[in-house]
Amino acid sequence: MEHPPIIEMRRINKQFGKVQANADVDFTLRHSEIHAIVGENGAGKSTLMKILYGLYRPDAGEIFVDGRPVTISSPRHAMRLGLGMVQQHFTLIPVFTALQNIVLAKEPRKFGTLLDYQQAEKRITALTAQLGFDVPLNTLVESLPIGTQQHTEILKVLYHGADILIMDEPTAVLAPQEVEGLFNCMHNLKNEGKSLIIITHKLDEVMAIADTVTVMRNGQSVATSPIADTNPDALAEMMLGEPVIPTSVTREQLENTTPMLHLEKVTLSADSDARKGLAQFISRHVHKAPLPNPRESSKPHLDQIDLAIFPGEIVGIAGVEGNGQTQLVEVLTGLRQIHSGNLTLNGERLAHIPADRHRHGISLSDRIDDNFIIGHHKNRRYCRHGMLQRKSIQRATLNALDKYQIRVGDIAHPIKTLSGGNQQKVVVARELEGRPELIIAAHPTRGLDIHAARFVHSRLIHARNRAKAVLLVSSELDELLHLSDRIAVMYDGKIVGVVKPAETNKRELGALMLGLG
Say whether 44 sits in a helix, a strand or coil: coil
> Do 510 and 481 touch, CB atoms closer than 8 A?
no
Q: What is the DSSP string of 234-298?
A: HHHHHHHTSPPPP----------SS-SEEEEEEEE-----HHHHHHHHHIIIII-PPPP--SSTT
The pLDDT assigned to 275 comes to 45
Instruction: Judge if 517 and 454 occupy the same domain.
Output: yes
Instruction: Judge if 175 and 37 occupy the same domain.
Output: yes
Instruction: Judge if 488 and 515 occupy the same domain.
Output: yes
CA–CA separation, 487 and 315 (whole Å):
6
Instruction: Judge if 236 and 252 occupy the same domain.
Output: no
- Taking Cα atoms as reference points, which of 350, 379, 375 lies closest to residue 361? 375
CATH of the domain at 443: 3.40.50.300
The verdict on residue 51 lying in a domain is yes
Longest CA span, the chain = 75
Helix ranges, 372-504 (H): 390-403, 420-432, 450-465, 477-483
Instruction: Judge if 160 and 266 occupy the same domain.
Output: no
Instruction: Judge if 192 and 314 occupy the same domain.
Output: no
CA–CA separation, 25 and 46 (whole Å):
13
Instruction: Judge if 266 and 186 occupy the same domain.
Output: no
CA–CA separation, 133 and 181 (whole Å):
8
The verdict on residue 367 lying in a domain is no
Query: Over its length of 517 residues, how does the chain's per-residue pLDDT go in tens digits?
Result: 467 899 999 999 999 888 899 999 999 999 999 999 999 888 999 999 999 999 999 999 999 999 999 999 999 999 999 999 998 778 899 999 999 999 998 877 776 677 788 888 998 998 888 887 889 999 999 888 777 888 899 999 999 999 999 998 888 767 666 778 789 889 989 998 999 999 988 888 899 999 999 999 999 999 999 999 999 999 989 998 877 666 555 666 767 678 999 999 999 987 644 444 444 544 544 455 555 554 444 578 899 999 999 999 999 999 987 789 999 999 999 889 999 999 998 877 899 999 888 888 999 999 999 999 998 888 888 888 888 889 999 999 999 998 888 878 889 999 998 888 889 889 999 999 888 999 999 999 887 778 788 888 999 999 999 999 999 999 888 899 999 999 999 999 999 999 999 999 988 898 898 888 6
When divided into structural domains, the chain yields a total of: 2
The verdict on residue 472 lying in a domain is yes
> Do 114 and 195 touch, CB atoms closer than 8 A?
no
Length of the chain equals 517
Instruction: Judge if 232 and 250 occupy the same domain.
Output: no
What pLDDT digit, counting tens, does each position of 296-341 carry? 445 788 999 999 999 999 999 999 877 899 999 999 998 899 999 9
Residue 16, phi then psi, degrees to nearest 5: -115, 105
CA distances from 340 to 265, 271, 481 (A): 7, 13, 31
The pLDDT assigned to 272 comes to 41
380 CB neighbour count, 10 Å cutoff: 8
Instruction: Judge if 233 and 254 occupy the same domain.
Output: no
Instruction: Judge if 109 and 198 occupy the same domain.
Output: yes
E strands, 102-163, are 109-110, 114-115
- Taking Cα atoms as reference points, which of 25, 17, 60 lies closest to residue 43? 25
Q: 383 burial class (0-12, 13-18, 19+ CB within 10 angstroms)?
A: middle
DSSP letter at 351 equals E
The pLDDT assigned to 276 comes to 47
Paired strand residues for 225: 213
The verdict on residue 384 lying in a domain is no
The pLDDT assigned to 404 comes to 86
Give residue 400's identity as a one-letter amino acid code: A
The verdict on residue 46 lying in a domain is yes
Instruction: Judge if 234 and 262 occupy the same domain.
Output: no
Among 240, 260, 283, identify where a domain stops.
Answer: 240
User: Considering the entire predicted model, what is its pTM?
Assistant: 0.73
The verdict on residue 486 lying in a domain is yes
Among 240, 255, 285, identify where a domain stops.
Answer: 240
41 CB neighbour count, 10 Å cutoff: 25
The pLDDT assigned to 3 comes to 73
Q: How far is CA 105 from the centre of its chain?
A: 25
CA–CA separation, 431 and 470 (whole Å):
12
Paired strand residues for 198: 36, 167
Give residue 341's identity as a one-letter amino acid code: G
The verdict on residue 490 lying in a domain is yes
Q: List all residues 6 or more positions away from 462 whose beta carbon is below 8 Å from its beta carbon.
A: 249
What pLDDT digit, counting tens, does each position of 191-220 carry? 989 999 999 888 888 999 999 999 999 999
Among 195, 221, 240, identify where a domain stops.
Answer: 240
The pLDDT assigned to 278 comes to 47
Paired strand residues for 263: 307, 343
Long-range contacts for 279-285 (Cβ within 8 Å, ≥24 apart)?
279/95, 279/96, 279/97, 279/140, 282/95, 282/96, 283/97, 283/100
CA–CA separation, 443 and 467 (whole Å):
21
Say whether 355 sits in a helix, a strand or coil: coil
Instruction: Judge if 223 and 306 occupy the same domain.
Output: no
Q: Which structural domain, as residue segments, surrounds residue 344? A: 246-270+301-349+436-517
The pLDDT assigned to 163 comes to 94
Q: List all residues 6 or more positions away from 402 whose beta carbon is below 8 Å from its beta carbon.
A: none
CA distances from 508 to 480, 483, 498, 499, 501 (A): 13, 18, 12, 10, 11
The per-residue b/e assignment along 43-55, b for 16 or more CB within 10 angstroms, e otherwise, is bbbbbbbbbbbbb
The verdict on residue 216 lying in a domain is yes
